Amino acid sequence: MNAFAPDLSLWRFRSFAELAQVADPWWSLHAYARDIENAIPPGSTVAGYSVTAERFVEFGVHWPSNGRRPHWRETLLCPVTGLNNRVRAAYHAVVSDVRNRSADIYLTEQTGQFYKLMKARFPGVVGSEYLGLAPGALSPEGIRSEDLTRLSFDGASFDAVVSLEVLEHVPDYQSALGECCRVLRPGGKLFLTAPFRFDVAQTIVRARVVDGKIVHLLPPEYHGDPIGTGGILSYFHFGWSLLDDLRAAGFADAYAGLYWSIELGHLGFAQTLIVASK
């Protein structure tokens, strides 16, 4: 990584109670960030450093036609790599932590630009998609199929696992967390993004599977499907109890890394990256 790249500073909290202890300065920082974001003229780009491109760029912004402010988490696209705010931050965190380019890393995706970028940096990257095939089987296009609740890999196979916007689509996400822990080597880390409410202690269950049928507890919410034209149902919006679930799954430590950086084009206070260590 470029030596002149600004650092990605993560405010690390291991519980809702820890965040509550700094509530006053936290909300002051929130107001400061919001003032900066609101001062950005509609229709403009945002200048900053893209770690994925290793250069200063003008991040592209999707400005809603209804006059609302952008959904910062899903925009601020690097014009070189095409990666958005949250994906760029996850990449930054991984490459800052995993310095060995020979590391074995499992990604819960295989068809997007993030996989290509990670594979170029870490040749030992293995990716997959959920295709409904037997775990470990390959599609005719050479895409590996995996079920995150029953991975085909041996235990202690990887130095890191990276899962971006997948966990909320897994009804039995606790089993998925257990599998991520199982396939990691001692000291390995899970880097995870998913819809996360830093103002909510308990995970919000939007839907569940009962006797093989989906039961909606809240209006259905669908996210984009990287390998299909339809949407994928989101079962959860996670709260701080996710960190307890990670520890229950076997991780020795887990924290929510909250971040905001105008220099790096990470707007939308506050974005979250979950990191757990085995």
Q: What pLDDT, on the 0 to 100 scale, is given for residue 229?
A: 67
User: Domain for residue 37, yes or no?
Assistant: yes
Q: What pLDDT, on the 0 to 100 scale, is given for residue 163?
A: 98
* CA distance to 13, 124, 199, per residue, from 20 (Å): 10, 40, 9
User: Domain for residue 217, yes or no?
Assistant: yes
Q: How many domains does the chain have?
A: 1
Q: What pLDDT, on the 0 to 100 scale, is given for residue 1?
A: 67
User: Domain for residue 249, yes or no?
Assistant: yes
Question: How far apart are alpha carbons 163 and 50 in whole angstroms?
Answer: 21
Q: What pLDDT, on the 0 to 100 scale, is given for residue 156?
A: 98
Asked if 128 contacts 139 with a C-beta cutoff of 8 angstroms, the reply is no
Can you give the residue range of the structural domain that contains 45? 11-277
* CA distance to 207, 216, 227, per residue, from 213 (Å): 10, 10, 23
User: Domain for residue 1, yes or no?
Assistant: no
User: Domain for residue 38, yes or no?
Assistant: yes
Residue carrying the six token digits 């257990």: 178
Q: What pLDDT, on the 0 to 100 scale, is given for residue 3?
A: 65
Asked if 183 contacts 155 with a C-beta cutoff of 8 angstroms, the reply is yes
Asked if 265 contacts 249 with a C-beta cutoff of 8 angstroms, the reply is no
Rounded (10°) CA dihedral 108, 113, 119, 122? -90
Question: How far apart are alpha carbons 48 and 233 in whole angstroms?
Answer: 33
User: Domain for residue 4, yes or no?
Assistant: no
User: Domain for residue 241, yes or no?
Assistant: yes
User: Domain for residue 5, yes or no?
Assistant: no
Beta strand 105-107 with 125-127 is: parallel
Rounded (10°) CA dihedral 182, 224, 75, 172? -30
DSSP assignment of 21-81, as one string?
TTHHHHHHHHHHHHHHHHTSPTT--EEEEETTTTEEEEEB----TTSPPP-GGG--B-TTT
Per-10-residue mean pLDDT for the chain, 278 residues long? 81 95 89 94 96 97 92 97 98 96 98 97 97 95 97 98 97 98 98 95 97 96 80 96 98 97 94 97
Q: What is the CATH number of the domain that holds 176?
A: 3.40.50.150
